[in-house]
């Protein structure tokens, strides 16, 4: 088969077209009939904590094979992290620094779409490159994928608003004038200790909700156009049937993102690919083939 080299303008136009198609698909994704659901709803199986050894072995293999392409895709994450941190410092919003960093876990499942697609394509023996991050827009389920992504973005915004309201309620409306003053007020006062305790508790609830919604839903939609409702229900079933392994997975994600944020979010260049590829292989372990 003959191949042609497309110019950047033509390629860019096609991607804009795919993006427009994705936006148009949002309006119909929730109500359209999904034949896959009618024929064979996804079935969930039990896994063990020991299965994560194999999950991360496969994730590391994916990362090793496509390291250059993955770096090209995920270099944006630490850049975004530094930019957001700079905005927080620049606008005297220090109380939102930790909620912002921890809240990245709420949108991480959506941010890892291109990595799931790379693992899926490698599994099928198809060509894989950084461009797969864009070809996700061609997925038949793109409307449901975007809708689910908006749900996670809404959760992130709600978490940020909650964190701000919590800080002002416990610490008062006055903002710290420096990082040292902020750390001293949070770490060395009873109000600060209360803020940490309550904030971590509320943040844990947000994280549990997002985990239940999204642990397998995005990979499922990439593989099968089952609709956003079925994807979320399958994800809840995966957590319900595997509470201990899913709690362990949540701890892995949280620890990975914390380590990846040090120093200056640079570690996300490695952490995000591993977690992204591992998410696909976790999906493969939990959801039976359709």
pLDDT in tens, 41-50: 899 999 999 9
Q: Which of 126-130, 203-207, 213-217, 243-247 has the lowest mean pLDDT?
A: 126-130
Q: Which of 70, 41, 53 is closest to 220 using CA atoms?
A: 41
Distance CA 109, CA 147 (A): 13
The contacts of residue 112 (CB under 8 Å, 6+ apart) are: 218, 272, 275, 276, 279
Helix axes 97-111, 243-260, angle to 10 degrees: 120
More confident residue, 219 or 40: 219
Report the alpha-carbon distance of residue 134 to residue 16 in Å, rounded: 10
Average pLDDT over residues 10-28: 46
Please state the separation of Cα 120 from the chain's center in Å.
17
Per-residue pLDDT tens over the stretch 186-242: 999 999 999 999 999 999 999 999 999 999 999 999 999 999 999 999 999 999 999
Strand partners, 287: 44
Query: What is the rounded distance in angstroms from the CA atom of residue 123 to the CA atom of residue 126?
Result: 8
Write out the two tokens for 20: 């427009």
- Burial tier of 205 (Cβ tally within 10 Å: 0-12, 13-18, 19+): exposed
What is the domain partition of the chain in residue ranges? 14-29+54-286
Q: Is residue 7 predicted with pLDDT exceeding 60?
A: no
C-alpha distances in Å from residue 117, one per residue of 26, 207, 264: 20, 24, 27
- Give the residue carrying structure tokens 């119909």: 28
**How many of the other CB atoms lie within 10 Å of CB of 119?**
29
Q: Is 7 helix (H, G, I), strand (E, B) or coil?
A: coil
């Amino acid at each position: 088969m003959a191949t042609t080299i497309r110019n950047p303008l033509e390629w860019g136009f096609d991607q804009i077209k795919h993006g427009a198609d994705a936006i148009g698909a949002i309006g119909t994704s929730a109500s359209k009939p999904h034949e896959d659901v009618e024929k064979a709803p996804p079935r969930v199986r039990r896994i063990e904590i020991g299965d994560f050894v194999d999950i991360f072995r496969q994730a590391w293999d994916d990362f090793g094979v496509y390291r250059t392409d993955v770096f090209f895709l995920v270099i944006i994450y630490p850049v975004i992290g530094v930019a957001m941190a700079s905005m927080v410092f620049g606008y005297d919003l220090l109380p939102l620094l930790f909620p912002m960093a921890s809240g990245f876990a709420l949108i991480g499942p959506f941010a890892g779409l291109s990595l799931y697609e790379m693992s899926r394509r490698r599994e099928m023996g198809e060509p894989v490159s950084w461009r797969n991050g864009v070809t996700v827009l061609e997925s038949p389920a793109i409307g449901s994928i975007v809708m689910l992504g908006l749900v996670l973005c809404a959760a992130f915004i709600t978490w940020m608003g909650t964190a701000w309201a919590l800080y002002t309620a416990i610490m008062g409306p006055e903002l710290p004038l420096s990082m040292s003053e902020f750390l001293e007020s949070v770490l060395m006062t009873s109000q600060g200790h209360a803020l940490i305790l309550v904030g971590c508790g509320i943040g844990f609830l947000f994280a549990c909700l997002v985990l239940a919604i999204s642990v397998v839903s995005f990979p499922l939609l990439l593989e099968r156009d089952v609709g956003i409702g079925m994807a979320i229900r399958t994800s809840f079933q995966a957590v319900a049937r595997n509470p201990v392994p899913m709690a362990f997975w949540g701890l892995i994600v949280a620890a990975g993102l914390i380590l990846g944020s040090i120093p200056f979010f640079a570690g996300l260049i490695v952490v995000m690919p591993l977690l992204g590829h591992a998410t696909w292989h976790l999906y493969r372990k939990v959801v039976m083939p359709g």
